[in-house]
Amino acid sequence: MTDIVSRIDTAFAEAGVTGWLHALDIDSGAQIGARADHRVPTASVHKLCCLVTLHELAAAGRLDLTEQIECPPIDRTVGPTGLAAMLDPVRMSLRDVAYLMMAVSDNTAADLVLRRIGLDAVNDTTTRLGLGRTHAAHTFGELFATIREDAGPGGAQALTDPHTVSRLRALDPSRTNHSTPRDMTRLLGALWRDEACTPEHGAAMRRLLGLQVWPHRMASGFPFDDVHVAGKTGSLPTLRHEVGVVEYPDGGRYAVAVFTRSADTAATLPAADAVIGTAARIAVDVLRRG
C-alpha cells in the first residue's frame, strides 16, 4: 500500500497539486486511500448530496420530480453554464433542473433545488448515510457571495493573487461546504448498491451522473469505449475535484474520489485536471489486480 500511495503522490507532485484520494471496490469493499479522511472544501461536488436528498424526498412522497419550477432572469446564481448563463425566463420540471445541476454543474439549478429541499434536509441525508465528515454550510449563491466579499474591490482579477486566494472562506473547510474522499466513495457506493434510495430513484441518479459533459478529469484516465465513468466535478480557485464510479465490462465497479489543490492560481491548468484521471487509474488498476 505504501508504494501505491507513493505513486499517487508522485503523480500529484508532478502535476503541481496537493491531492487527496479514496478508491473503493463497490462490491468487495477493498479500498485504497491517500489522506482519505482529510476534510476538503467540496465546491460543486456537494451537488451530489443535493441530488441524493432530492430523490430521497421524492421517494418518500414529499415532492414530485415533475413539479414545474419558475426561474426568472433576475437573482440567478453566478455561473457560466445552464440557467446561470441564460437571459430569459425559464420554466421546467424539478428533475430537469436536477439534470442541469449535475450534467453541466449549473449553479442556479443547484440553488433552485436547494430552495425546494433546504440545507437541513441535505445534512439530514448525509448524516443518515453515515457521512460524518460531510456538511453543507451554505447555498451556492452564498458560497460565491463569500468569494466576492473576500476578493474585495479587485473583483475576479484579485483571484490571481495568492494572498487573496489564501484568505477565501470558500477554500477553508471549517467555513464552507466540506467532505472527505472516503465519505464521497461511501456515498457513491451506497448509490450504486441502491442503499441510498429506492432502485428506481437510484437508477435515475446514476443516469444523471453518467450524463456529465466534462471528460477532462477522471474520465481521461480511462480512455476505453467499454469502460464507463459517471461522476461529478467541483471547481473553485486552485481547487479541482471529481468523484465518480468507474464501471468495467466484466462487472467491476469502483467508486473514486479525488480532490486537489494547486499552488498556481491560474484558471487553466491542464496537468492539474489530468492528474485526477491519472490518480484514479492507478488506484483502480490496483483494486482490479486484487
Residue 234 class from Cβ within 10 Å (0-12 exposed, 13-18 middle, 19+ buried)? buried
What would the mean pLDDT of 103-126 be, rounded to a whole number?
98
Place of cell 478529469: 217
Under 8 Å between Cβ of 284 and 258 = no
Query: What CATH number should be reported for the domain holding residue 266?
Result: 3.40.710.10
Q: What is the DSSP string of 242-263?
A: EEEEEE-TTS-EEEEEEEEEES
3-state class (DSSP) for residue 267: coil
Contacts by 114-121, CB closer than 8 A, 24 or more apart:
114/50, 114/139, 114/140, 116/54, 116/63, 116/67, 116/69, 117/50, 117/53, 117/54, 117/57, 117/63, 121/53, 121/57
pLDDT the model gives residue 246 = 98
Backbone angles phi, psi at 112, to 5 degrees: -65, -40
What would the mean pLDDT of 259-267 be, rounded to a whole number?
96
CA distance 36 to 160: 29
| pLDDT over threshold 80, residue 8 | yes
pLDDT the model gives residue 2 = 77
Assign 86 a pLDDT band (cuts: 50, 70, 90): very high
Range of the domain at 274: 2-289
| pLDDT over threshold 90, residue 66 | yes
Rg of the chain taking only CA atoms, in angstroms:
18
What would the mean pLDDT of 96-112 be, rounded to a whole number?
98
Assign 155 a pLDDT band (cuts: 50, 70, 90): confident
| pLDDT over threshold 80, residue 143 | yes
| pLDDT over threshold 80, residue 142 | yes
What would the mean pLDDT of 120-140 be, rounded to a whole number?
98
Assign 127 a pLDDT band (cuts: 50, 70, 90): very high
Q: Where are the alpha helices (DSSP H) in the chain?
A: 2-14, 47-59, 94-103, 107-117, 119-128, 140-151, 162-166, 181-192, 199-210, 270-289
| pLDDT over threshold 90, residue 131 | yes
pLDDT the model gives residue 290 = 81
- What total of structural domains would you count in the chain? 1
pLDDT the model gives residue 75 = 83
| pLDDT over threshold 80, residue 209 | yes
| pLDDT over threshold 90, residue 213 | yes
Under 8 Å between Cβ of 83 and 106 = yes
pTM: 0.96
pLDDT the model gives residue 205 = 98
